[in-house]
Amino acid sequence: MEIKVLGTGCSKCKTTYNNVIEALKETGLKANVVKIEDIEEMMKYNVLTTPVLMIDDEVKVKGRIADIKEIKEFLTA
Amino acid sequence: MVTQTLVKEICPTTTQGRVRDGALVVDVREKDEVAQFAYDVPNIINIPLSEFEDRFTEIPSDKEVIMVCKSGGRSLRAAGFLVNHGYPNVVNMQHGIIRWIQKNFPTIGDTSSILSISTNESCCVTNTSTTPESDSNNDSNSNSCC
């Protein structure tokens, strides 16, 4: 599983990234977590509002912080 | 400093010239921000970034389009979005309305909040920092805008 957190390095993006790490820890699942902060890389994904949470290249949450509970639901769905 | 090659970027001074030549300015700041103070140019529309995905087709694709915001970060993303959607003539204005106001270019509304944090940076000379946008940390801190 690959999880991407797209954001510009703002606090919301950092919180989303930390929530992903915590959700993985709580579920015991393993995933490759990638933080994408490069603006050009982000533009390839046509991202307008950040942070964005992508799981296996599918946008799950955009424009807001993904909380631990919902990330766990995505991970175990 | 934001490094990217997808979108061409221009400074506020160049923007002034392009506007005179008929370019369309698209301000992607949110409505409450625009209500506070705004660019005073003839061809301008406001499509907040939060509505941009649903409304970007309001922007004509046969005109030169200059994307603007508060300090150049959000507008850069929106410009990239338009380029990715096939808009052939889109540029981003670096440094946003902060620099626009510092350059004494025409605005509407109370710009005192910007002027009070102004550091008198020039558009076309070396500087070390720009005022960060409150909701975005990806704004350009380029040393030159031209």
Chain B positions in Cβ-Cβ contact with residue A63 (cut-off 8 Å): 50
Residue B95: what pLDDT? 96
Find the range with the poorest average confidence among A2-16, A36-50, A62-76, B94-108. A36-50
Q: How many CB atoms lie within 10 A of CB B27?
A: 27
Give the chain B residue whose CA is nearest to the CA of A10. B137
Q: Higher-confidence residue: A25 or B117? A: A25
pTM score above 0.80: no
Q: Is B49 helix (H, G, I), strand (E, B) or coil?
A: helix
Residue B136 contacts A where some CB pair is shorter than 8 Å: yes
Grade residue A45 by pLDDT with cuts at 50, 70 and 90.
Answer: confident
Residue B117: what pLDDT? 66
Q: Closest Cα of chain B to A14: distance in Å?
A: 12
Chain B positions in Cβ-Cβ contact with residue A47 (cut-off 8 Å): 77
Grade residue B122 by pLDDT with cuts at 50, 70 and 90.
Answer: very low
Tell me the average pLDDT of chain B.
83
Report whether pLDDT(A18) > 80.
yes
**DSSP per-residue codes, B95-124:** THHHHHHHTT--EEE--HHHHTT-----TT
Q: Is B63 helix (H, G, I), strand (E, B) or coil?
A: coil
Interface test with A, best of B1, B4, B5, B90 (most A CBs within 10 A): B4
Residue B133: what pLDDT? 39
Tell me the average pLDDT of chain A.
93
Residue B118: what pLDDT? 53
Q: What is the 3-state secondary structure (H, E, C) of A5-73?
A: EECCCCHHHHHHHHHHHHHHHHHCCCCEEEEECCHHHHHHCCCCCCCEEEECCEEEEECCCCCHHHHHH
Give the chain B residue whose CA is nearest to the CA of A9. B137
Question: Is A10 an active-site residue?
Answer: yes
Q: How many CB atoms lie within 10 A of CB A46?
A: 15
| Residue B92 to residues B6, B32, B65, B80, Cα–Cα distance (Å) | 10, 22, 8, 9
| B67 and B78 Cβ atoms separated by less than 8 Å | yes
Give the chain A residue whose CA is nearest to the CA of B84. A46
| Spatial distance between the Cα atoms of A49 and B53, rounded to a whole number of angstroms | 10
Which residues 7-36 in chain A show a CB within 8 A of chain B?
8-10
Residue B141 contacts A where some CB pair is shorter than 8 Å: no
Whether residue B42 has a cis bond before it, omega within 30° of 0: no
Residue A43 contacts B where some CB pair is shorter than 8 Å: yes
Average pLDDT over residues B9-20: 96
| Spatial distance between the Cα atoms of B26 and B63, rounded to a whole number of angstroms | 12
Among A1, A2, A10, A18, the one annotated catalytic: A10
